[in-house]
Amino acid sequence: MAILFTADAFVNTMKSIATNYNTLYVYCGFGAPLTQRNKERYSNNCAYNRKPERRAKIMAASNDTFAFDCVNLIKGVLWGWNGDLNKVYGGAVYGSNGVPDLNANDFFTSCCYDRTDRFDNLIPGELVWMSGHIGIYVGNGLAVECTPIWSDGVQLTAVGNIQPIAGYPTRTWSSHGKCEFIDYGSQPTPPTPPTPGFLPARGYYTMGDQDSHVELIDEFLAGKTEGDYFGTYTKFAVMAFQHIKGLEEDGNIGPITLKYMKKDGLNSWITLPSRGYYRVGDSGNSIAQIDSFLANKIRGNYYGTYTNYAVRALQTIGRQDGVYTDVIDGNFGPMTLATAEYYGFSY
């Protein structure tokens, strides 16, 4: 068994195919450009491709369209596919690099390890699987898969086991695992999700919730925002303020944002630096006053816009530190709670 890609390189290749190339779902296709010769060959090589509607799509495809199916997308890339329109299989060499020609189920079973049906530890570059179908998790709640539905080809889809994402079709998978041909490096160990009890029955806190547990969350997040340094918590709190006021959500404090803050009670003596705005990395007494102003907006027992944005700050920092692997959505679920505990939250 040979390592053929790092996880990052594998993910970047898959995302590039999904976004930068013309592709079509063609059963048994592992990257062949649909030249006239390949169209004739593939449209007659199996019952699925001979279906009138599928054959019509194959024959109508442009010559710069590449043919893939779900598992052959993975095998084609591992076999060396590089998008070469002058090669019969786009640069792939069938059966090369020690990668076996297996169907989706057998490939997942034979070529993946650490297989699990838990999706709280999914990392980019892993393969996601359901009976008869396979894809690649590429991070931020998205997978790359080749399917004849939706966009009919290689495409980005939301991993429903994490949550739907606006603008993407959603698929819920059965399991995931690491591919033996991919180097995942040393992965940080995410905190263990806590036992049930703190979170509500639905499994997470979200906008509109109100109880004593939300008050504890708000107090914790407000404490992270306070200080005299313009960091990630300050940025997201500013974005929450801008969202409420209908301003551009850039997280910087320029003259318009500052004017609205002063109207809301920020000390009137605060002036902007010579560059004309405050941003991440700034510090000092003025930032301390701004942080205190924003922290007081977060405190309470109601899960509103400020809580949501503060949770996004927590999730962002957790992801940067390698201890949060879920989506950045502003909801306070098991992985967010575990991340908060990692940074000192107790209840």
Q: Tell me: the pLDDT tens digits for 220-237?
A: 999 999 999 999 999 999
223 in the same domain as 172? no
Residue 98 lies in a domain: yes
Query: What is the mean pLDDT of the segment spanning 325-338?
Result: 91
C-alpha 86/C-alpha 38 separation (Å) is: 12
C-alpha 18/C-alpha 144 separation (Å) is: 7
Residue 77, helix vs strand vs coil: helix
pLDDT at 89 over 70: yes
How many angstroms separate the Cα of 21 from the Cα of each of 18, 64, 84, 153, 171? 6, 8, 11, 10, 22
Q: Looking at residue 237, what is its pLDDT?
A: 97
Backbone torsion region of residue 158, taken as left when φ is above 0, otherwise alpha when ψ lies between -120 and 50, otherwise beta: beta
Name the domain count of the chain: 2
246 in the same domain as 174? no
Residue 199 lies in a domain: no
Q: State the pLDDT confidence band at 33, using cuts at 50, 70 and 90.
A: very high
Per cent of the chain over pLDDT 70 is 97
Q: Which of these, 225, 273, 223, lies nearest to 253 by C-alpha position? A: 273
Contacts of 33 (CB under 8 A, 6+ apart): 63, 64, 65, 66, 67, 85, 87, 90
Query: What is the mean pLDDT of the segment spanning 245-258?
Result: 96
pLDDT at 278 over 60: yes
280 in the same domain as 172? no
pLDDT at 140 over 80: yes
C-alpha 121/C-alpha 325 separation (Å) is: 7
Determine the straight-line distance between the first and last CA of the chain, rounded to whole angstroms.
48
Q: State the pLDDT confidence band at 144, using cuts at 50, 70 and 90.
A: very high
Query: Exposure of 217 by Cβ count < 10 A (0-12 exposed, 13-18 middle, 19+ buried)?
Result: buried
Average model confidence (pLDDT) across the chain: 93
Q: Looking at residue 196, what is its pLDDT?
A: 57
Q: Looking at residue 182, what is its pLDDT?
A: 96
- Residue 24 or 325, more confident: 24
Q: Looking at residue 208, what is its pLDDT?
A: 96
153 in the same domain as 19? yes
- The domain of 35 spans 5-183
pLDDT at 81 over 80: yes
Residue 193 lies in a domain: no
Q: Which of these, 104, 97, 113, lies nearest to 4 by C-alpha position? A: 97
157 in the same domain as 235? no
Q: Looking at residue 115, what is its pLDDT?
A: 94
Residue 201 lies in a domain: no
159 in the same domain as 37? yes
* pLDDT tens figures, 40-69: 999 999 999 999 999 999 999 999 999 999
* pLDDT tens figures, 168-219: 999 999 999 999 999 999 765 555 555 457 899 888 999 999 999 999 999 9
Residue 28 lies in a domain: yes
159 in the same domain as 222? no
141 in the same domain as 17? yes
Report whether 261 contacts 241 (CB < 8 A): yes
CA geometry: angle 13, 16, 19, nearest 5 deg: 155
Alpha helices in the chain (DSSP H): 7-20, 36-42, 47-50, 52-60, 70-78, 104-111, 212-225, 232-245, 255-263, 285-298, 305-320, 334-342
Residue 178 bridge partners (DSSP): 113
The reported pTM is: 0.57
Residue 189 lies in a domain: no
pLDDT at 111 over 60: yes
Residue 104, helix vs strand vs coil: helix
pLDDT at 12 over 60: yes
C-alpha 9/C-alpha 3 separation (Å) is: 12
157 in the same domain as 220? no
86 in the same domain as 173? yes
Check which CATH number belongs to the domain holding 54 and give it: 3.90.1720.10
C-alpha 266/C-alpha 292 separation (Å) is: 9
276 in the same domain as 238? yes
Residue 198 lies in a domain: no
275 in the same domain as 168? no
